[in-house]
Amino acid sequence: MSVNDGALEACQERIGYHFKDPALLAAALTHSSSANMRRDSNERLEFLGDAVLGLVVCHHLYQRLPEAMEGDLTKIKSAVVSRRACARVAQSLALPSVLHCGQGMDVGDDMPRSLAAAALESLVGAVFLDGGFEVAREFILKHAAEELRQAIGSEHHFNFKSQLQQYAQREMGCTPNYNVLDEKGPDHAKCFEVAASIGQRHFPSAWGPSKKDAEQKAAWAALVTLGVLSDTVPISDEVVS
């Protein structure tokens, strides 16, 4: 038994892409538990799609974040291509509802995250084979846009102190220092004003709800002053230590 034509058509409408070769989509939606032979399942497409997804995300981050260091890019990319993120995208496209699995396997909203993520990777592989790299790139960036936005803006994935330290050591031969200039508020809700300095050079101060947060914002201010970052780059209210 395979994925029926009605399900394939509905899937193509949801994902916003119509296959020249619908057999590729059918293969992408066929789990090994329901395939006559394992090579007829979506496992090979999953292998290919995983590589295409990684390349597209890496290329996008490289272009979008010219100021980000390798470590930060790696963390963001890992978040976007993670099983959790891929499963969320798969759910948004309703892939679990059309993934053909063998008897006894959960489908729909109760499907294990790993199966949902694999379905997305398989679909990416199928789109790549059917339409080429540029079509696959547009497909990924469209449907993973929210995952990219959250990962780039996440407090866990953009460390301005790390960037300033690497820049200062590379370009100025010394390590940044952070000085607490002021603090306000009661003990349970203090705010801190911190400024960064590199050698004899001092940079604009910044306020934060913790010393670590204020240090990150002060590092961002220093990077802007040094011309490493644009002052149009958003900084979240909470950033990493």
Mean pLDDT check: name the lowest of 1-15, 114-128, 154-168: 154-168
Q: What is the average pLDDT score of the chain?
A: 86
Query: What's the confidence (pLDDT) of residue 241?
Result: 37
What pLDDT digit, counting tens, does each position of 165-181 carry? Answer: 889 999 999 999 999 99
Query: What's the confidence (pLDDT) of residue 26?
Result: 92
- By DSSP bridging, strand 201-208 and strand 191-198 are antiparallel
Q: Averaged over 183-200, what is the pLDDT?
A: 94
Which of 165, 178, 157, 154 lies closest to 236, judged by CA? 154
Query: What ranges do the domains of the chain cover?
Result: 5-153, 160-225
- The H or E element that residue 203 is part of is strand 201-208
Q: Does residue 104 register a pLDDT over 70?
A: no
Residue 107: other Cβ atoms inside 10 A: 15
By percentage, how much of the chain surpasses pLDDT 90? 62
Query: What's the confidence (pLDDT) of residue 38?
Result: 61
What residues are labeled active site? Answer: 50, 121
Query: What's the confidence (pLDDT) of residue 163?
Result: 84
- Look up residue 137 and give its two tokens: 């790139």
Separation CA 111–CA 42 (nearest Å): 16
Single pTM value for the model: 0.66
Domain 5-153, architecture per CATH: Orthogonal Bundle (1.10)
CATH number of 160-225: 3.30.160.20
Q: Averaged over 214-229, what is the pLDDT?
A: 92
Q: Does residue 135 register a pLDDT over 90?
A: yes
Confidence of residue 3 (pLDDT cuts 50, 70, 90): low
Residue 17: other Cβ atoms inside 10 A: 20
Q: Does residue 109 register a pLDDT over 80?
A: no
Query: What's the confidence (pLDDT) of residue 158?
Result: 61
